[in-house]
């Protein structure tokens, strides 16, 4: 089965700029990022979309993870029990947003979404593609996680964030 890591990083966005030493520079934002088998999910999807860009028009955007408060803090049902989640980051078909646009910082601009299916012993991430764009679903994955390991990965990162 695949291994999930949930990591909070600091990333720069071109939308959020601050004045430093008389110059406008991109601000650093805390971002939740998902790593599967040691590789960033956002990078995997972005690379595949741009590799296949002759097949469809892929926007030339960069992608950031989500704001921690939107997905993990406090410990949320959004990734554990997506069918019970009420969120602006959930579509009618059950897909959940996992990234946001680097240019504008908006989650619903050009971010990636995926469907999460929770079964007794496993969690499956599939239908990965652009938010609200079904033409390019499934560009990577599906990924299958042991449910206990998956929930543990979320608990560990959540505990670190609440502590500091």
What are 112-163's pLDDT values in tens digits? Answer: 888 888 899 999 999 887 776 666 667 788 999 999 998 888 887 766 766 6
> What is the pTM for the complete model shown?
0.78
Distance CA(111)–CA(29), nearest Å, equals 16
Quick one: which of 139, 144, 161, 155 has its CA closest to 46?
A: 139
The answer to whether the beta carbons of residues 6 and 72 sit under 8 Å apart is yes
Give the mean pLDDT of 10-19: 76
Number of Cβ within 10 Å of residue 158's Cβ equals: 19
φ/ψ of residue 62, rounded to 5? -100, 165
- Going by C-beta distance under 8 Å and a sequence separation of 6 or more, which residues neighbour residue 103? 13, 14, 15, 61, 62, 109
Quick one: which of 134, 118, 126 has its CA closest to 82?
A: 118
pLDDT at 142: 93
Domain ranges across the chain: 4-163
Beta bridge partners of 33: 7
What are 49-91's pLDDT values in tens digits? Answer: 777 665 555 455 678 887 777 665 445 566 776 666 666 666 6
């Amino acid at each position: 089965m695949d291994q999930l890591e949930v990591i909070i990083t600091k990333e720069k966005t071109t939308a959020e700029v601050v004045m430093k030493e008389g110059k406008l520079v991109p601000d650093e934002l805390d971002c939740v990022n998902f790593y599967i088998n040691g590789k960033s999910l956002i990078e995997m999807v972005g690379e595949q979309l741009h590799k296949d860009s002759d097949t469809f028009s892929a926007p030339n955007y960069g992608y950031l993870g989500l704001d921690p408060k939107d997905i993990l803090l406090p410990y949320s049902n959004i990734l554990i029990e997506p069918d019970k989640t009420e969120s602006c980051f959930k579509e009618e078909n059950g897909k959940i947003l996992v990234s946001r646009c680097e240019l504008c910082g908006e989650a619903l601009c050009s971010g990636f979404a995926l469907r999460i299916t929770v079964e007794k012993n496993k969690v499956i991430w599939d239908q990965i593609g652009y938010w609200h764009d079904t033409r390019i679903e499934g560009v990577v994955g599906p990924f299958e996680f042991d449910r206990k390991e998956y929930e543990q990965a979320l608990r560990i990162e959540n505990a670190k964030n609440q502590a500091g």
